[in-house]
């Protein structure tokens, strides 16, 4: 669990970083703190071994919210291939997410639009139920 003096942020995860998935966020240290289940406005696409979200577009995407430290955020940026110039596989965004009746600003890793060509939509917005 993060120490009190460590700065923390929240992250919304919707694919392989979810509990029990191949890249389960619990493998990172310091251990991310589960805040709760959530869903956000967006569409989810099947990229083969993992999904990608596009924010907005009127759908809902199911996921989980965690409190993370800067060290975990940096590790997630590497996993998601975030580039400062926006050319990486994912782009990091911050959006409000309702969790248990509370609005939290959460990081969301949004897929770069160029990666979506020919990729099918995951109807229902849940990676686990594809």
Please say if 89 is a catalytic residue: no
Does the pLDDT value for residue 43 go beyond 50? yes
Does the pLDDT value for residue 2 go beyond 50? no
Kindly state the tokens that stand for 68. Answer: 């993370």
Span 22-48, average pLDDT:
97
Choosing among 3.40.50.1470, 3.50.50.60, 3.60.20.10, 3.10.490.10, the CATH entry for 8-121 is 3.10.490.10
The predicted pLDDT at position 6 comes to 75
Among 64, 73, 80, 110, which one carries the catalytic annotation?
80
């Amino acid at each position: 669990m993060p120490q009190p003096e460590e700065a923390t942020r929240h992250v919304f995860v919707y694919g392989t970083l979810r509990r029990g998935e191949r890249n389960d966020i619990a493998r990172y240290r310091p251990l991310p703190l589960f805040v709760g289940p959530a869903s956000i406005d967006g569409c989810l696409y099947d990229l083969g071994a993992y999904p990608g979200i596009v924010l907005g577009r009127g759908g809902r995407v199911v996921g989980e919210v965690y409190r993370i430290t800067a060290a975990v955020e940096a590790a997630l940026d590497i996993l998601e291939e975030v580039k400062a110039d926006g050319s990486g596989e994912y782009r990091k965004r911050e959006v409000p997410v309702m969790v248990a009746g509370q609005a939290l600003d959460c990081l969301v890793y949004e897929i770069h639009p160029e990666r979506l060509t020919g990729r099918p939509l995951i109807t229902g917005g849940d990676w686990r139920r594809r």
